[in-house]
Structure 1
Amino acid sequence: MQEDFRLIVDLVLVLAAAAGGGLLVALLRQPVLLGYLLGGMVVGPAGLGLIKELIQVETLAQFGVAFLLFALGVEFSFAEIKKVQVISLGGGGLQIALTILITALVSLVVGWVSSPAQGVFLGAILSLSSTAVVLKCLMERNETETTHGQVMLGILVVQDLALGLMLAVLPALDQPAETIGLAVVTALLRISLFAGGAVAAGIWLIPRLLRLLARTESKELFLLGVVALCLGIALLTEHLGLSIEMGAFVAGLMISEVEYADQTLTYVEPLRDIFATLFFAAIGMLIDPVFLWQNLELILGLVALVWLGKFLIVTPLVKAFGYSLKTALLAGLGLAQIGEFSFVLASEGQALGLVSRRVYLLILGTTAVTLVLTPFVLRLVPSFFNWAESVPWLRPYLDADVPKEVASDIPIQGHLVVCGYGQMGRNLVRLMQEHGLPVVVIDQSESKIQQLREAHIPYVYGNASSLRVLETAGVDKARSLAIALRDPMSTRLCLKRALELSPELDTVVCANKDQDIELLYQLGAREVVQPEFEASIELSTHLLAGVGLALPVIQQEMQQIRSHHYLELRPERSPAQVSRELQLAARDMNSRWYRLPDKSPLADMTLEEANLRYLTGVSLIAIRRAKGEEVDYPDATAILQTGDRLLLVGTTEELAAFDELAKGEVAIHDENMLCHWMTLGVNSPVVNQTLAQLDVFTRCSVQVQAIRRDGKFFWFPDNNMNLQAGDLLLLCGAYPALNQLQQLLSVQGVQSIFPVLS
């Protein structure tokens, strides 16, 4: 076969194998990168040996590295770093430095490397985490806007930026030990001169060139010019003694701040994806599966060592920068793997002779395994925290999200709390202020808090899903709560914890996805708004009015759609899909399946009669009947039956309270007895008195069955227990007695927060 045609056949084989491997791992819900490596292993020399022109394929694969780095430079955003600039620059820089230092010392002591330069190189490889895998996991779980998501992305951006510097300094590590210092300094000086030239070109030359190309209105010419620019600068850096990868990255940075950056990235992405696939498949062709199998024990040990080491470096760093332990743990687990760009460093290091063939294969195997493990670990993390929050001595450490700053003019009561100061939150605040209503905003973005400071709007700087932050914002004394957070998980937790503080709070919630609508209603939201559906309603209103329909009729129809929770607008999903989505959402919260005991007093009661959320705090979001029928998001008319399995969401105390209620260990209201929640006012004279000191309950034949304090339940409180301001008292007795007690205690400063149950 002719050599040039053989190369075409090899390229087709490699791309087909990569596509097949990518499809396989995608079906297994793993990063497609692993499929590309697997495809390369299958057709490579250590596999079926189908590839003959290996050197030529590897040469073409270098285009993949160049386009990967170029696209990374174009995507690089200083705005992303600015959101969490302290932890990004400080924490990210320290993480890289500490990883390199510790790895170099350990590898020298253990004997993995023979020189400090090799130890530094190994540390550089281990210091990088996977932007692609972590970002994909965060996006799948809608956690990119969470605190831990922003911290991880900020550190990853700094790691990606450091990659360019590593590639530039890497050739200097190949110098003799006595001249390595001079070589590094020379390399850094060369980088500085090149960076100065790049900045000048990025300001005066590149924008004009891109405008000229764009003026032709030819997509092909624009793409050709951009590719020529990328590869031309990459070759220039190679000629200057730096690396092609460094040049491609700098070329991307030169374009990143130009108005045509997005257009450039759109055109280049298909080329990047194809050649990057070729690069990772070429890496796979170098992996020997027999070697991996023979050294499996060693590789798994290295995986454990790498995972533990990076976790122990990242977690304390994030905690030291003022974040909660929970955020630090999440960031430590999320960044513990080795990234895909480590393959680039490893390939360059092997070419320079910094690592042996055996060490190189061990690096590849260890990196691949850590990439496989990352999605599994991040999926298991919520379950771990649910368990940890059930352990009393661990809970205070995990719920340590305290307000970082509180405005001095925050209102005390009767105000509106807005969680999230994005575009929707800003509009809400402006409209409320136009009507003279007091508002408090909760946000955890430094830039948003600065906007609030400048606008003199009362704020709480912190995580809106934290119980302590919500307490500081005065949610328990607020008139209403609006939740406009971009992260669904934070939205659910914020709603759940706000209702723990004030079960009758008027809450309106923005649902980011239509799948969340019913769940948010089930968790206690008074109103749920879905922006896309609302836009559809407004467009329909305009169009129907335009064709002559009466406006009152249109408004009535649209209000009916809202009252039905947008059911007419939602895409149809099978019961199995609804059940799967429900259980995925519940898995991220503290939930459990509970079997209703035989002869439970709750049996044959409707959910409205049982009043579970008010009596125990739990939310019932699914029922599985004994005959196999499943009722997802049951409404108030759903009847509980003996043998039902109930999917409950709530804190450990709330679940325990429900267990006692279901077993009949505490009373519930029936024809002869009612249970009624009342809140103890701040100025009440009974504050700081014990139940034993008060005979008012005995005189009225009313029993204090429970006290709810700071979201925790105290069932059948001891007579020596002190009453505190803000306590919710569960009073049970006959209707006349409860009514009499309400009037009596109102004089003493106790206000009812619920209408008397009837």
Structure 2
Amino acid sequence: MIHLPELIADLGLILAAAGVTTLVFKRIRQPLVLGYILAGMLVGPHFKFIPTVTDQKSITIWAEIGVIFLLFSLGLEFSFKKLVKVGGTASVTAIVEVVFMLLAGYLAGQAMGWSTMDSIFLGGILSVSSTTIIIRAFEELGVKHKKFAGLVFGVLIVEDLVAILLLVLLSTLALSQQAAGTEMLVSILKLGFFLVLWFLGGIFLVPTFLRATRKLMNDETMLVVSLALCLIMVLLAVKVGFSPALGAFIMGSILAETTQAEKIEHLTKSVKDLFAAIFFVSVGMMINPSILVDYAMPILVVTLVTVSGKFISSSLGALLSGQPLKTSIQTGMSLAQIGEFSFIIATLGVSLKVTSDFLYPIAVAASAITTFTTPYLIKLSEPFYHFLNRILPTRWTAAISRYSTGTEGITRLSDWKVLLRAYAFNTVIHSVLSIAIILASARYLQPFVTKNIVNGLNGNILSVVLALMLLAPFLWALAIRRIQKNAYSHLWLNKKYTRGPLVALEVFRVLLAVFFVGFLMYEFFSTWVAAMIALLLTVLVIVVFQRRLQAFYDKLESRFLHNLNARDNQRNKPEILPWDMHLAEMTVPSASPMLGKTLIELSIREKFGINIALIERGNTMIPTPGKDERLFPADKLSVIGTDEQLAAFQQYLENETTGDAEYPKSDMTLQKIVISSQSAVYGQSIRNAGIREKANALVVGIERGDQRILNPQSDFVFDNGDIVWVVGNSKKIRETL
């Protein structure tokens, strides 16, 4: 008789249960994650009415693979450049929310008499919102075009990175079993070091490799190579003491910067869905229904803390970042749930055996409840804002409005800020690369040379020479490379105040380079020899090989920047800053009555009060199109207006359009410019200033005192103190205004 391995039988049982429950949940229009968890409860050891899984150890291994591919998929949607582009508003909101919820979760756990580790992990579980649930709710409610949706998406991006940091910190804390400040600091520095190193190395190597092998890649080989890269990074992460999930997330975020990102995401989606389903089913298998009954009150407490805490903290964070009251309330009520990452954090506590058995099912139950409440909270957010606006004192709402207006728009950086920011990036990046080369040379290069080429002192000398050849371009960039020449020149001309600090900065850069060379020598020779050789070699490299090093470094930098910007150059689309008016993207339907008509014939601005900032036609971009521009099928319009105006225009298109408006990702921004007597357009009319012609930009609003003018006439004359809202390319606007 043929014997069927238990793993295959268990896998068949899991997928059958998951298939049935997800069909039911699709029918009742609920998130599939909840269906997977319910399937896990049914086939788990605590439910005896149907066949149960027998080989739970093997299922746990499959679930770990599921976590890896789930984090890999999140990384593909994340990308570090997205984190940079979300700006301070989303970052402030996310940080306020995470810190508040960490504290709220800890205090709630302590109030219920839980252990310290249970309380800390509860705070981590409650601090991360659910990307999947929010996106689904936004799509079903049709609010993706609204202003607050862009802020919510930005907060979710920041939360992804914070969740990765939490995984590392909670792992360190769980293993040490005490809140050692030194260990936490070392873990954070170690994480930062490897994040920078992996990102720089990954962006330099991976896109180059994919581009070189592009002709050899079909769907099958692309899938195999992508998963191989993911697992290689998982091995590297584990090798240096991090979780496999971190490695998968990092590789996903690196691949997200390549031109193949969409294809890789499409090819790996089925693999991710399969293993993620197994992971979430394994989550359900760990839930004992009797615990849910016994801990009904803690589940209620955790749910209330989640909803109220996230609403308060997210709203407060949005207000502090300069958002209007309405946007802040809508953001807070949208983020009031916990989801996928929370399960991963809870799984970490179980796998490390530092949390109690009841914490996991309580977190899952609270997630299920908040999943059901999320759509209703989003729907009620606007009525709740109107209620608050009525009952709050007028001076409060006026103060919030003034604060919001004062913090939005362009803030011109001083020369010192520009220079110090550039020097900080230069120092961190090249210090990380230098340390990595030195440590790799001492631990891998030198043993290899002495074992296979030449041993003894000669082996050490050869190893040092090879290491210095690798270090040289980065030492040159660290110590000598000219950074932000214009800002540096402006500051240098102010002899009385700035030359001293500038000289100090340059001396610091040179000394840091000398230190790294000395550090390399110290790994191979005695201290005094290291100091002398470091000084001599540093001077030699700077004086003799400066031009060659500059040329070589420029090639490295050019390749890195080309890889980093390749995907953006391929798409070449705009990014949004928040205001009552904002950008949204809509597609012209194939059977629209607008086809073939010019913008002046359509009178869209007059009918709906909106402006068309950009037309994307295939690979062609038409910024701030003129009145004689015609519309064609499948044109993507980047339109600017208020929530109400965009909703009205979307309704106009709904009879023919199948997709929802989405937030674009581009260089097109809504910006605030304050006119002064030194401004280039001071005293000129909008028409004479030539803003449309020179900057491909539109003036969409002007504030003069207490007066707000929407869509001003072309003969409006700019005066000192006018606040001008312009949509267009930020660089061109700065050059023109």
Q: Tell whether 2:492 aligns with 1:490.
A: no
> 1:256 maps to which residue?
256
SS in structure 2 of the partner of residue 16 of structure 1: helix
Change (3 A) 1:179 1:336: closer
State the alpha-carbon separation in 2 of the partners of residues 23 and 439 from structure 1: 44
> 1:650 maps to which residue?
none
Change (3 A) 1:3 1:109: farther
Change (3 A) 1:229 1:359: same
Asked if the contact 1:41–1:288 (Cα under 8 Å) also holds between the matched residues in 2, the reply is yes
Asked if the contact 2:77–2:256 (Cα under 8 Å) also holds between the matched residues in 1, the reply is yes
Q: Which aligned pairs between 1:13-412 and structure 2 lie closer than 5 A?
A: 13-48=13-48, 50-77=52-79, 80-81=82-83, 84-108=86-110, 110-114=112-116, 118-176=118-176, 180-381=180-381
Change (3 A) 1:194 1:440: same
State the alpha-carbon separation in 1 of the partners of residues 232 and 583 from structure 2: 46
Residue type of the alignment partner of 1:64: G
Change (3 A) 1:99 1:419: closer
Q: Which has the higher contact order (CA 8 A, sep 6+)?
A: 2
State the alpha-carbon separation in 2 of the partners of residues 345 and 406 from structure 1: 37
State the alpha-carbon separation in 2 of the partners of residues 41 and 156 from structure 1: 29
State the alpha-carbon separation in 1 of the partners of residues 582 and 171 from structure 2: 51
SS in structure 2 of the partner of residue 205 of structure 1: helix
Asked if the contact 2:611–2:641 (Cα under 8 Å) also holds between the matched residues in 1, the reply is no
Identity of aligned residues (%): 29
Q: Which aligned pairs between 1:687-726 and structure 2 lie closer than 5 A?
A: none
Residue type of the alignment partner of 1:350: V
State the alpha-carbon separation in 1 of the partners of residues 24 and 608 from structure 2: 50
Change (3 A) 1:180 1:391: closer
Count of aligned residue pairs for this structure pair: 462
Q: Which aligned pairs between 1:549-628 and structure 2 lie closer than 5 A?
A: none
State the alpha-carbon separation in 2 of the partners of residues 158 and 23 from structure 1: 33
Specify which of 647, 654, 660 is matched with residue 514 of structure 1. Answer: 654
Change (3 A) 1:177 1:51: closer
SS in structure 2 of the partner of residue 357 of structure 1: coil
Of residues 154-163 and 314-323 in structure 1, the stretch that sits farther from structure 2 once superposed is 314-323
Asked if the contact 1:172–1:180 (Cα under 8 Å) also holds between the matched residues in 2, the reply is no
State the alpha-carbon separation in 1 of the partners of residues 319 and 196 from structure 2: 36
Change (3 A) 1:382 1:488: farther
Change (3 A) 1:244 1:420: closer
Asked if the contact 1:419–1:485 (Cα under 8 Å) also holds between the matched residues in 2, the reply is no
State the alpha-carbon separation in 2 of the partners of residues 275 and 438 from structure 1: 52
Instruction: Pick the structure with more helix per residue.
Output: 2
Alpha-carbon offset, residue 183 of structure 1: 2.5
Gaps of 5+ in 2: 411-580, 589-594, 614-622, 626-636, 660-737
State the alpha-carbon separation in 1 of the partners of residues 81 and 39 from structure 2: 37
> 2:720 maps to which residue?
none
Alpha-carbon offset, residue 376 of structure 1: 3.3
Residue type of the alignment partner of 1:66: I
Change (3 A) 1:532 1:68: closer
Alpha-carbon offset, residue 391 of structure 1: 8.4
SS in structure 1 of the partner of residue 143 of structure 2: coil
Q: Which aligned pairs between 1:630-709 and structure 2 lie closer than 5 A?
A: none
State the alpha-carbon separation in 1 of the partners of residues 653 and 624 from structure 2: 32
State the alpha-carbon separation in 2 of the partners of residues 225 and 15 from structure 1: 27
Asked if the contact 1:234–1:244 (Cα under 8 Å) also holds between the matched residues in 2, the reply is yes
Alpha-carbon offset, residue 382 of structure 1: 5.4
Change (3 A) 1:394 1:301: farther
Residue type of the alignment partner of 1:42: L
Asked if the contact 1:63–1:275 (Cα under 8 Å) also holds between the matched residues in 2, the reply is yes
Alpha-carbon offset, residue 266 of structure 1: 1.1
State the alpha-carbon separation in 2 of the partners of residues 256 and 104 from structure 1: 35
Asked if the contact 2:302–2:366 (Cα under 8 Å) also holds between the matched residues in 1, the reply is yes
SS in structure 2 of the partner of residue 269 of structure 1: helix
Gaps of 5+ in 1: 408-417, 446-454, 458-483, 496-508, 516-529, 534-758
> 1:448 maps to which residue?
none
Asked if the contact 1:324–1:400 (Cα under 8 Å) also holds between the matched residues in 2, the reply is yes
Asked if the contact 1:131–1:156 (Cα under 8 Å) also holds between the matched residues in 2, the reply is yes
State the alpha-carbon separation in 2 of the partners of residues 486 and 424 from structure 1: 10
Q: Give the RMSD, CA atoms, in angstroms.
A: 4.5
Alpha-carbon offset, residue 26 of structure 1: 1.8
Change (3 A) 1:186 1:379: same
Asked if the contact 2:612–2:640 (Cα under 8 Å) also holds between the matched residues in 1, the reply is no
Asked if the contact 1:388–1:395 (Cα under 8 Å) also holds between the matched residues in 2, the reply is no
Q: Deviations over 1:301-320 (max 9, x none)?
A: 32112211221211122122
Residue type of the alignment partner of 1:514: E
Of residues 28-37 and 100-109 in structure 1, the stretch that sits farther from structure 2 once superposed is 100-109
Asked if the contact 2:10–2:53 (Cα under 8 Å) also holds between the matched residues in 1, the reply is yes
Change (3 A) 1:308 1:391: closer
State the alpha-carbon separation in 2 of the partners of residues 3 and 240 from structure 1: 41
Alpha-carbon offset, residue 138 of structure 1: 0.8
Asked if the contact 1:65–1:245 (Cα under 8 Å) also holds between the matched residues in 2, the reply is yes
Alpha-carbon offset, residue 206 of structure 1: 0.9
SS in structure 1 of the partner of residue 142 of structure 2: coil
State the alpha-carbon separation in 2 of the partners of residues 2 and 297 from structure 1: 50
Asked if the contact 1:486–1:512 (Cα under 8 Å) also holds between the matched residues in 2, the reply is no
Alpha-carbon offset, residue 247 of structure 1: 0.6
Change (3 A) 1:193 1:322: closer
State the alpha-carbon separation in 2 of the partners of residues 428 and 317 from structure 1: 46
State the alpha-carbon separation in 2 of the partners of residues 30 and 253 from structure 1: 29
Q: Deviations over 1:372-397 (max 9, x none)?
A: 32223334445656777898999996
Alpha-carbon offset, residue 104 of structure 1: 2.8
TM-score normalised by length of structure 2: 0.55
Asked if the contact 2:134–2:334 (Cα under 8 Å) also holds between the matched residues in 1, the reply is yes
State the alpha-carbon separation in 2 of the partners of residues 168 and 63 from structure 1: 18
TM-score normalised by length of structure 1: 0.54
Alpha-carbon offset, residue 513 of structure 1: 4.6
Residue type of the alignment partner of 1:99: M
Alpha-carbon offset, residue 213 of structure 1: 4.2
Higher alpha-carbon Rg: 1
Residue type of the alignment partner of 1:205: L
SS in structure 2 of the partner of residue 14 of structure 1: helix
Asked if the contact 1:308–1:336 (Cα under 8 Å) also holds between the matched residues in 2, the reply is yes
State the alpha-carbon separation in 2 of the partners of residues 104 and 159 from structure 1: 19
State the alpha-carbon separation in 2 of the partners of residues 71 and 372 from structure 1: 24
